Amino acid sequence: MGKGRILVVEDDLDISKMLRIYFDSQGYEVLVANRGGDALDTCRTKLPNVVVLDIQLPDIDGYEVCRSLRNNTRTSYVPIIFLTQKDERSDKIAGLELGADDYITKPFDIEELKLRVEGAIRRSLREALTHPVTNLPAGKLIEEQLKRVKDAAEPWTLLYFGIRNVNAFKEIYGPIQVNEVLIFLADIMREAVEANGTLNDFIGQASDNDFIIISTPKAASAICRTITERFNEECKVFYSFKDKEQGYITYKDIDGVTQKADFMKIAVGVVSSKNGPFADIVQITEDAAENRRHNTGCPAETE
52 HSE (CA, 13 A, CB side): 30
Q: What is the 3-state secondary structure (H, E, C) of 223-262?
A: HHHHHHHHHHHHHHHHCCHHHHHHCCEEEECCCCCEEEEC
The predicted-structure confidence for 107-151, as pLDDT tens digits, reads as follows 889 999 999 999 998 887 777 688 988 989 998 889 999 999 998
For residues 162 and 289, membership in a common domain is answered with: yes
Q: How many domains does the chain have?
A: 2
* Inside any domain, residue 131: no
* Inside any domain, residue 281: yes
For residues 183 and 272, membership in a common domain is answered with: yes
Give the mean pLDDT of 19-30.
95
* Inside any domain, residue 132: no
- State which of 126, 151, 182 marks the end of a domain: 126
* Inside any domain, residue 134: no
For residues 117 and 158, membership in a common domain is answered with: no
Residue 302 CA to residue 187 CA, distance in Å, equals: 26
Q: Are 69 and 76 in contact (CB under 8 A)?
A: yes
- State which of 126, 156, 182 marks the end of a domain: 126
For residues 82 and 222, membership in a common domain is answered with: no
3 HSE (CA, 13 A, CB side): 17
- For residue 252, the domain's CATH number is 3.30.70.270
- State which of 102, 126, 150 marks the end of a domain: 126
Quote the pLDDT of residue 302.
59
Residue 50 CA to residue 8 CA, distance in Å, equals: 9
Quote the pLDDT of residue 1.
53
For residues 151 and 282, membership in a common domain is answered with: yes
The predicted-structure confidence for 245-297, as pLDDT tens digits, reads as follows 999 999 887 788 899 999 999 999 999 999 989 999 999 999 999 999 988 78
For residues 218 and 121, membership in a common domain is answered with: no
Sign of the alpha-carbon dihedral angle for 233, 237, 238, 243: positive
pLDDT at 160 over 60: yes
For residues 175 and 202, membership in a common domain is answered with: yes
For residues 73 and 206, membership in a common domain is answered with: no
Domain residue limits at 39: 5-126
Residue 203 CA to residue 130 CA, distance in Å, equals: 11
Quote the pLDDT of residue 157.
96
pTM of the model: 0.73
Q: Where are the alpha helices (DSSP H) in the chain?
A: 13-25, 36-45, 62-71, 89-97, 110-126, 139-150, 166-173, 175-196, 217-234, 241-246, 281-293
* Inside any domain, residue 95: yes
For residues 91 and 209, membership in a common domain is answered with: no
For residues 189 and 257, membership in a common domain is answered with: yes
Q: Do the bridges between strand 157-164 and strand 265-272 make them parallel or antiparallel, or are there none, so unpaired?
A: antiparallel
3-state secondary structure of 132: coil
- For residue 104, the domain's CATH number is 3.40.50.2300
Residue 204 CA to residue 186 CA, distance in Å, equals: 9
Query: Of 65-79, 88-102, 273-287, where does the model show the most confidence?
Result: 273-287
* Inside any domain, residue 299: no
For residues 116 and 50, membership in a common domain is answered with: yes
* Inside any domain, residue 300: no
Q: Are 105 and 85 in contact (CB under 8 A)?
A: yes
Q: Are 53 and 9 in contact (CB under 8 A)?
A: yes
List the end-to-end C-alpha distance of the chain, in Å, as a whole number: 37
